[in-house]
Amino acid sequence: MESAYLIEIDHADQTPTVLYQDTGHCIYWLGLSEPTAFRTNSYLICDGDCAVLVDPGNRACFSRLKERVAQILPPQQVTDVIVCHQDPDVAASLPDWLVLNPDIRVHTSPRTQVLLPHYGIEGYTYVDTEQQPVFTLPSGAAIRFVPAPFLHFPGAFASYDTAAKALFTGDVLASLDVGKRLWAGDFDELAGNMRLFHVEYMASSVATRGFVRRLEGLQIDMLLPQHGQLIGRHMVAQALQWLAELPCGTDLIYPDLSDE
Ligand SMILES: [Fe+2]
Ligand SMILES: [Fe+2]
């Protein structure tokens, strides 16, 4: 296994962790690591004069996340935020980011956009990920938005970074994990931790299988969920196969109906 996959989360001394770096394009894991099983992952993509925050997180961690961003660039220079769905662990800090920079563009789905004003925000720049499914960055790399309906929100989506071949999956492939390893090292352990979350949150195996089918043709080197361990190249195929075959949600709640 590549040594980069052996990074340990240090709860005491956190700095942004580079996940990908090439000329003019860089992805950071922002190093917030609450010692809880529901740890959230936020990411920053830096590309030319664009700084794209992926799933900014809850209000309680805003000031710590701002400090992490400040280790890379002035936080008011965040130009774009991607919000994969409206849950508070993903989006509740949005009002704070918009105070720092009112010109931030918020990339999200129409179903999420309907709900974001309930955080008390208005008048921000909304970019519809269904109408504009490709966000081209200054380097020529792009972020492609891939709908993930009913995983778990009807308007959820994933974001594919064409330079890093990284898929930001939101709650999909999220795991409940209290370990120190940033990257998954043992698939059976990862699958157990993902199962804890998926069986109750994800709608059905039709939804998981359909989403995996949408990813066909994409080369994916990293799966970057919003909770738990990151999934490196050596486990991508296994993780997607696991997801496609997962009984969850209504499959388990109404087992008698799935054969009808
Ligand atoms: Fe969620
Ligand atoms: Fe979440």
Cα(232) to centroid(ligand 1), Å: 22
H or E stretch covering 107: strand 105-108
Q: Does residue 169 sit within a domain?
A: yes
Q: Residue 231: its pLDDT value, please?
A: 98
As residues whose CB is below 5 A from the ion ligand 1, the structure lists 87, 171
Neighbour count for residue 20 (Cβ, 10 Å): 17
- Ligand 1 centroid – CA 85 distance (Å): 7
Calculate the CA dihedral of residues 250, 252, 257, 260 and round it to 10 degrees. 100
Distance between CA atoms of residues 246 and 210, nearest Å: 12
CA of 86 to the centre of ligand 1 (A): 7
**Ligand with an atom nearest the CA of residue 85:** 1
What is the β-pairing status of strands 166-170 and 157-161?
antiparallel
Strand partners, 46: 26, 51
Give the closest ligand to the alpha carbon of residue 39. 2
Q: How far is CA 172 from the centre of its chain?
A: 8
pLDDT on residue 211: 98
Distances (CA, A) of 144 to 25, 56, 76: 15, 18, 24
Find the 259 Cα to ligand 2 centroid distance in Å: 31
245: in domain: yes
Question: Would you say 31 and 68 are in contact if contact means Cβ atoms under 8 Å apart?
Answer: yes
Instruction: Give percent helix, percent strand, percent coil of the chain, each to the nearest 5.
Output: 30, 25, 45
What pLDDT, on the 0 to 100 scale, is given for residue 66? 96
The span from the CA of 246 to the CA of 229, in Å, is 19
Task: Spell out which residues have Cβ within 5 A of ligand 2, the ion.
Answer: 89, 171, 226
Q: Is residue 135 part of a domain?
A: yes
Asked if the structure places residue 203 within a domain, the reply is yes
Does 258 reside within a domain? no
Among all ligands shown, which has an atom nearest to the Cα of 40?
2
pLDDT at position 80, please? 98
Cis peptide leading into residue 25 (ω within 30°)? no
State the CB neighbour count (10 A cutoff) for residue 13: 6
What pLDDT is recorded for position 13?
Answer: 59
Expressed as residue numbers, the domain containing 168 is 3-253
**CATH number of the domain encompassing residue 48:** 3.60.15.10
Q: 48 alpha carbon to ligand 1 midpoint, in Å?
A: 30
Helix orientation angle between 187-201 and 233-244, rounded to the nearest 10 degrees: 40
* Residue 167 in tokens: 């898929």
CB contact set of 102 (below 8 Å; sequence gap of 6+): 123, 124
In this structure, which ligand is nearest to the CA of 112?
Answer: 1
With vertex at residue 44, the alpha carbon angle to CA 88 and CA 31, rounded to the nearest 5 degrees, is: 75
Cα(152) to centroid(ligand 1), Å = 6
Residue 161, token pair as written in the block: 């970074």
Distance from Cα 123 to the centre of ligand 2, integer Å: 25
Which ligand sits closest to the CA of 200? 1
Separation of CA 171 and ligand 1 centre (Å): 6
**What is the spatial distance between Cα 78 and Cα 169, in angstroms, rounded to a whole number?**
21
pTM as predicted: 0.96
Q: Enter the DSSP assignment of 246.
A: -
- The answer to whether residue 134 sits within a structural domain is yes
- From the CA of 57, the nearest ligand is 2
Report the 10 Å Cβ neighbour count for 171.
24
One-letter amino acid identity for 58? N
In the reported structure, the alpha carbon of residue 196 is separated from the centroid of ligand 1 by a whole-number distance in angstroms of 14
Q: Domain total for the chain? A: 1
Any domain includes 259: no
Ligand with minimal distance to 174 CA: 2
Report mean pLDDT in 10-residue bins for the chain, 260 residues.
Answer: 70 81 95 76 97 95 94 98 97 97 98 97 97 98 98 98 98 90 94 95 97 98 96 98 96 84
Is 260 inside a domain boundary? Answer: no
